[in-house]
Amino acid sequence: MSELALLGGAPVLPEPLPPYRSIGEPEMEAVAEVMESGCLSAFYGSPGPEFLGGPKVRAFEAAWAERFGTKHAVSVNSATSGLVAAMGAVGVSPGDEVVVPPWTMSATAMAPLAYGGIPVFADIEPDTFCLDVGAVKAALTPRTRAIIAVNLFGHPARLAELRELADRRGIWLVEDSAQAPLGEEHGRRCGTVGHIGVFSFNFHKHIHTGEGGMCVTGDDDLARRLQLIRNHGENTVAWLGVRDLVNMIGFNLRMTELSAAIGLAQFHNMEEHVATRERLATTLADGAADLDGLTPPRPRSGCRHNYYCWTLRYDADAVGVSRETFSRALHAEGFPHFVAYVEPLYLLPIFQERIALGRDGFPFTLTERRYDKGLCPVAERLHEREAILFEPCAWQVSDADAERLVVAVRKVHARASELAAWDEERARPRAVRS
């Protein structure tokens, strides 16, 4: 085996992987058709049939609802918008608590704040990185209005258990399924187990529309409320006979006809995109399975993982070198990845300073909850020491490339003692010239 690239040897992948590109002829034709129609968005924010958008928006929603087996699909202009609309739809009010995981994209925990809700962080499982049901139970209080379960990296949270818990307590389960189209738990699709599920179509996802999102629900009333919040609902509630005006201030969260047309074109390749990543993930996991100190992701029994992220757990003591040095060596071999994901969200200034809306600290003025370091030890450990992430949705990886990625991991792992010596050498104090 050649010398480590970090120490001057030849890299396993001499050329960078090409970036993933899923936009082709069908998407271009779909856009051209909308351009020719001259109507790039058909929404009106007032009573009338256009309240629900134009033909492409409605067709995309219908196709999504059918594919996911849900009664309603309500498109939005991002998953962030979808999560905010979901919080509004389930009636989150100032001071209500919403249980969220700390290791997720920040939008998950910002959505409750938009309605004055209080995010309450529950720790995650060390192997699936999704909410730990025991921690959720411990976080529930009479003020809890909802749980947001994130199907992180494309793997389902313990959705059936969480739904059962939510129903028993008379609270709502919202799934942040931004990363998890076609993820599954015991045959039930991610996004469809909770009362509302939210998907993202931003540029980094399996299928994308530039920006975009989709909410799904089986509940007529929630669907209506999502539609009202999406599109200036205050103008339309009377026309629709909606009497519950809680959170019926509407926004403009509407998807354009252009985005919906791209979404429809992309939609039909979704299964193929996910299957490609499952194959890649299996090659990587099998290739690293026997290496001490590396734990590749595997789906929980009965689950389907879509591998939005392939997240390895790293044990520096077992490998014999720090995660940061291992990562530098892996980068030098041409394996693109990043260490850590996001800082546990409660460590962000918004929680540490307890200032969200206005200058007086609202809504934290309504709670005694604290956001101290140590709140969620599993998430902190993953962030600080254990996680190494590879983004299969960012790269075009052939089967041959996948084998090379395995060779790169094995090469760096086999040379960990050289890396430890290199680290030691660099740490040694140098004589300073006077």
> Does residue 104 belong to the site contacting ligand PLP (CB under 6 A)?
yes
* Burial (CB count <10 Å: 0-12, 13-18, 19+), residue 320: middle
> Does residue 247 belong to the site contacting ligand PLP (CB under 6 A)?
no
200 or 227: whose CB is closer to ligand PLP? 200
CA distance 228 to 237: 7
Nearest Cα to Cα of residue 267 among 5, 62, 428, 11: 62
Smallest gap from residue 194 Cβ to ligand PLP (A): 14
Smallest gap from residue 282 Cβ to ligand PLP (A): 23
Site for ligand PLP in 381-400 (CB under 6 A): none
Smallest gap from residue 104 Cβ to ligand PLP (A): 5
> Does residue 159 belong to the site contacting ligand PLP (CB under 6 A)?
no
Smallest gap from residue 391 Cβ to ligand PLP (A): 11
Q: Is there a contact between 92 and 147 (Cβ–Cβ < 8 Å)?
A: no
> Does residue 178 belong to the site contacting ligand PLP (CB under 6 A)?
yes
Neighbouring C-alpha atoms within 13 Å toward the C-beta of 45: 14
103 or 326: whose CB is closer to ligand PLP? 103
* Burial (CB count <10 Å: 0-12, 13-18, 19+), residue 203: middle
> Does residue 283 belong to the site contacting ligand PLP (CB under 6 A)?
no
> Does residue 128 belong to the site contacting ligand PLP (CB under 6 A)?
no
Q: How far apart are the first and last CA of the chain?
A: 43
Neighbouring C-alpha atoms within 13 Å toward the C-beta of 89: 30
Q: Is there a contact between 68 and 193 (Cβ–Cβ < 8 Å)?
A: no
> Does residue 107 belong to the site contacting ligand PLP (CB under 6 A)?
yes
Residue-wise burial string across 154-192, b where 16 or more C-beta atoms lie within 10 A, e elsewhere? bbbbbbebbbebbeeeebbbbbbbbbbbbbbbeebbbbb
191 or 213: whose CB is closer to ligand PLP? 213
Q: Select from 73, 79, 223, 228 the one that contacts ligand PLP (CB under 6 A).
A: 79
Smallest gap from residue 101 Cβ to ligand PLP (A): 9
- Judged by the rule CB under 6 A, the positions of this chain that interact with ligand PLP are 78-80, 104-105, 107-108, 150, 176, 178-179, 200, 202, 213
